[in-house]
C-alpha cells in the first residue's frame, strides 16, 4: 500500500487505500510546475457492507500545472488557491462531479529517504449531495514499485 486517504464525512470516516502515485516538478517554458496524481485502490475488503464508500470504490486526486518558484519540493508546503485558476481535479470514475478546496500539500523525506506527501483539504460531499464540503487528509509516498520479472 502506498498510503491512505481519509474523508471525514459526518456519517462515517471513509478510508481509501492508495494504489498508485505520481509526482514530478516539470520545467516548461521557463516556468516550474507541480504535477501530482494519486489513485486509490478499488478493493473494498476493508469496508463495511453498508458503507457510503461502496457507491464510490475508487477516486483519483490530481494537481495539474501548479506554478512553483523553483523545481524543489522537498521540505516545502504549498497552499493551492483555486480562486483564479483551477489546479486540482478529482475523478470519481462515474458521472458525478466533485471539486477540491483549501488544498495544502506538504512534502518531506521519510527515514528511508522516500518522498512523502501530506495533503489536506475539502471535497464536495458527493456521497449524500449536501452543500457543505467535507474535510479529507491524504498521506502517501512515492517509492518506486519493484517489478519482478521471472524467468520461464
CA distances 147 to 4, 24, 51, 144, 150, Å, are: 22, 21, 34, 9, 10
Handedness of CA 99, 102, 108, 112 (dihedral sign): negative
Between CA 89 and CA 53 the distance in angstroms is 19
Q: Where are the beta strands (DSSP E) in 29-146?
A: 31-40, 60-68, 76-80, 88-91, 100-109, 115-123, 134-141
Break the chain into its structural domains and give their ranges: 3-141
Strands 134-141 and 88-91, sheet pairing? unpaired
- pTM value is 0.85
Task: Assess contact for 46 and 16: CB atoms under 8 A.
Answer: no
Please give the residue that has the higher pLDDT: either 48 or 99: 99
Looking at every residue in the chain, the average pLDDT score rounds to: 86
* Tens of pLDDT, residues 56-88: 778 899 999 999 988 889 999 999 977 667 899
Amino acid at each position: 500500500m502506498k498510503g491512505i486517504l481519509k474523508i471525514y464525512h459526518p456519517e462515517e470516516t471513509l478510508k481509501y487505500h492508495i494504489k498508485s502515485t505520481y509526482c514530478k516538478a516539470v520545467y516548461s517554458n521557463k516556468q516550474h510546475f507541480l504535477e501530482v496524481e494519486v489513485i486509490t485502490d478499488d478493493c473494498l475488503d476493508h469496508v463495511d457492507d453498508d458503507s457510503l464508500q461502496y457507491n464510490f470504490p475508487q477516486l483519483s486526486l490530481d494537481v495539474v500545472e501548479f506554478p512553483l518558484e523553483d523545481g524543489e519540493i522537498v521540505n516545502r508546503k504549498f497552499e493551492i488557491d483555486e480562486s483564479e485558476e483551477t489546479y486540482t481535479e478529482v475523478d470519481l470514475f462515474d458521472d458525478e462531479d466533485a471539486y477540491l478546496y483549501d488544498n495544502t500539500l506538504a512534502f518531506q523525506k521519510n527515514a528511508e529517504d522516500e518522498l512523502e506527501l501530506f495533503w489536506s483539504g475539502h471535497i464536495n460531499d458527493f456521497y449524500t449531495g449536501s452543500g457543505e464540503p467535507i474535510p479529507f487528509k491524504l498521506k502517501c509516498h512515492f517509492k518506486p514499485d519493484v517489478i519482478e520479472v521471472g524467468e520461464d
